[in-house]
Structure 1
């Protein structure tokens, strides 16, 4: 099988597995050089309107080089398939009499893939195996046979859904999965579903021009030219929101109607923007700096100030007209004891830049800030 003369078609023997009627699964082989000829690697980015596009992580050079070195060795064995999403332009034709008696699990046939013209859109996208595909494009043996598992899906949402499910048990960058979750429409495993709303809220805080955190949260799709302003990692913000939403003592928890499975997202966004605007105004010298220069922008600082938020907003309703001023007054109770950019935290005996984003440091910093706040309030 190969390229059809004149028609520019790539044909391969394939096995069709009808796991679902809507999305049949195909198993076939490609040469190493053919993978990136027919398939794109869709990396995470955002369009001009801020909509998330793509779903792949950036290229990892060292990992790719290791794969290339192995494939160029004397006796490489490469059982790992490349998983692709195929456009509806790809066709499958069953072979007559292809079923073996007693084996109804698969149908043999031919998959026909149209080769794209130079610069034209490719008929497939890589859902899993980005690094392997890049490595295979650089190996010496161009005809090295590679196993491919593919399903037909023109929808990027379906591709993202499969990407998250395939990579959920692997060491995928947490921030990438976190950013993709709000874009997935189908039901998710409980562990991932719990992170969907906090990630969507994180996205609003980062893209709403009225938000004090506008453009400051670094996500997997953040362009390199914006990295200087994006000083807060999204995982810290998502964890801060998730903790307040899921804990019955959290200030965001009352915005959930558990019995109806409804959430007042507008109320949550208002509460978060009001509180963090007050934090910005209380600590202007520590705001907007990289985490290595300000622990307020650090994961530990975000988490600790989030836990303090639960106590302050339990006292100050965010919808009150004077809420911004009242929250600033509450923050001023602890402001003089904070050492975000220099000095030593007296209550925990650590220099400002010794605090790391680990559970013990987050807990110690949180407890100290809450203790300071509660003691200061008791003395009023």
Structure 2
């Protein structure tokens, strides 16, 4: 190891020219020397930073106990995002390449001092890396796959790709998706826009959801005030965006791939502010005290939005008052915090966030709205 650099024998895998992939080994104590974990969170401006989930202490301890034992076999490697400053030197001779890989030496910059910034980021294997940093077996060789990517977007994309076998928490996935341009799975693009809209609702001071949506990046302090799980809200918005009958569907231009996000913002804030104003005693309480704020309430009221907002002109100065007028039609039919839901035969606190109860409550609210509205004419 030269001063400021770590040298390791390496294989350069020839997958593509734009993103070199290197296979090499590090001693357990060297992982912490060159790589950090990019914990998910938000900066002071509210911008998403990082992508990794929190440490699982029990899992890390189990790995460490094994690493501290005798006769360790540890084939589970790490995936690192390496800085562009790394230097690869191919070995001399005619047999250094077989057409798939090139043998050589990789030079990686080393952090100067314990508090210095580390040049690489751990994309996969954060729990293993923590155990490696604490093991007594300091010189244990650890297999590493590294790719050069100083771009956080590429790191996030690879992070989502390598975690498809053991699924990531849904709220972590949905929060990361708006931050990447290329979505790694054909099943995920539809979640990207709804998650971005949930971000907007959680951060917009004019939103009734401001500061009360629980996201993967929420700090421990923020989680104390967060009462709405983001996955339920994401699913509610996704339904409205995807269904041709959804009130948000017309705001997407499928041909051009553009979206009128300002128009969607107006619809969402108008409707959900009207919901808050119509049910003030049920709004802002944890789901254990108000089913309106739980997944079943958010999903059912999200479906009711399609009917209510069809009668509201969001560009009108009376839009909020008009939405409140429409919601008062079902006000007396709702039992968010006490009582028994008629037709459903369920006490308010027995409603659960299950497909069956979401469907039953949605249908009940739709019938009550249509029937009561017709009776008013």
**Shared topology, TM-score over 0.5?**
yes
Residue 104 (structure 2) aligns with: 109
Structure 1 residues 321, 99: CA separation in 2 closer, same or farther (over 3 Å shift)?
Answer: farther
| Aligned positions of 1:186-335 closer than 5 A | 186-335=182-331
Looking at structure 1, the residues matched to 94 and 135 of structure 2 have their Cα atoms a distance apart, in angstroms, of 35
Provide TM-score, normalisation by structure 2. 0.96
Post-superposition CA distance 1:294-316 (Å, at most 9, x none): 11111111110000001111222
Q: Secondary structure at the match of 1:195?
A: helix
Residue 126 (structure 2) aligns with: 130
| Aligned positions of 1:85-164 closer than 5 A | 85-97=81-93, 99=95, 103-118=98-113, 119-164=115-160
Indicate if the aligned counterparts of 1:98 and 1:109 stay in contact, CA closer than 8 A.
no
Q: How many residues align?
A: 375
Q: Report deviation, 1:287.
A: 1.0
Residue 18 (structure 1) aligns with: 14
Structure 1 residues 98, 299: CA separation in 2 closer, same or farther (over 3 Å shift)?
Answer: farther
Post-superposition CA distance 1:39-68 (Å, at most 9, x none): 000101111111111010000111112222
Residue 32 (structure 2) aligns with: 36
The correspondence for 1:364, drawn from 330, 352, 360, is 360
Q: Secondary structure at the match of 1:326?
A: helix
Looking at structure 1, the residues matched to 72 and 362 of structure 2 have their Cα atoms a distance apart, in angstroms, of 52
Provide TM-score, normalisation by structure 1. 0.95
Indicate if the aligned counterparts of 2:157 and 2:183 stay in contact, CA closer than 8 A.
no
The correspondence for 1:342, drawn from 338, 341, 350, is 338
Moved over 4 A (4+): none
Residue 355 (structure 1) aligns with: 351
Indicate if the aligned counterparts of 2:296 and 2:357 stay in contact, CA closer than 8 A.
yes
Q: Report deviation, 1:319.
A: 2.1
Q: Secondary structure at the match of 2:145?
A: strand
Q: Report deviation, 1:80.
A: 1.5
Looking at structure 1, the residues matched to 93 and 190 of structure 2 have their Cα atoms a distance apart, in angstroms, of 48
Indicate if the aligned counterparts of 2:41 and 2:50 stay in contact, CA closer than 8 A.
yes
**Which runs of 5 or more structure 2 residues have no equivalent in the other structure?**
none
Looking at structure 2, the residues matched to 33 and 357 of structure 1 have their Cα atoms a distance apart, in angstroms, of 46
Q: Secondary structure at the match of 2:105?
A: strand
Post-superposition CA distance 1:133-176 (Å, at most 9, x none): 11112222111111100101111111111111221342211111
Looking at structure 1, the residues matched to 352 and 87 of structure 2 have their Cα atoms a distance apart, in angstroms, of 53
- Over aligned residue pairs, what C-alpha RMSD do you find? 1.5
Looking at structure 2, the residues matched to 72 and 188 of structure 1 have their Cα atoms a distance apart, in angstroms, of 37
Q: Report deviation, 1:96.
A: 1.1
Looking at structure 2, the residues matched to 28 and 266 of structure 1 have their Cα atoms a distance apart, in angstroms, of 49
Indicate if the aligned counterparts of 1:81 and 1:146 stay in contact, CA closer than 8 A.
yes
Looking at structure 2, the residues matched to 65 and 228 of structure 1 have their Cα atoms a distance apart, in angstroms, of 27
**Which runs of 5 or more structure 1 residues have no equivalent in the other structure?**
none
Looking at structure 2, the residues matched to 144 and 212 of structure 1 have their Cα atoms a distance apart, in angstroms, of 53
Looking at structure 2, the residues matched to 94 and 120 of structure 1 have their Cα atoms a distance apart, in angstroms, of 30
Indicate if the aligned counterparts of 2:160 and 2:184 stay in contact, CA closer than 8 A.
no
Looking at structure 2, the residues matched to 21 and 293 of structure 1 have their Cα atoms a distance apart, in angstroms, of 57
Looking at structure 2, the residues matched to 78 and 368 of structure 1 have their Cα atoms a distance apart, in angstroms, of 55
Looking at structure 2, the residues matched to 57 and 189 of structure 1 have their Cα atoms a distance apart, in angstroms, of 20
Residue 64 (structure 1) aligns with: 60
Residue 78 (structure 2) aligns with: 82
Residue 185 (structure 1) aligns with: 181
Q: Report deviation, 1:100.
A: 5.2
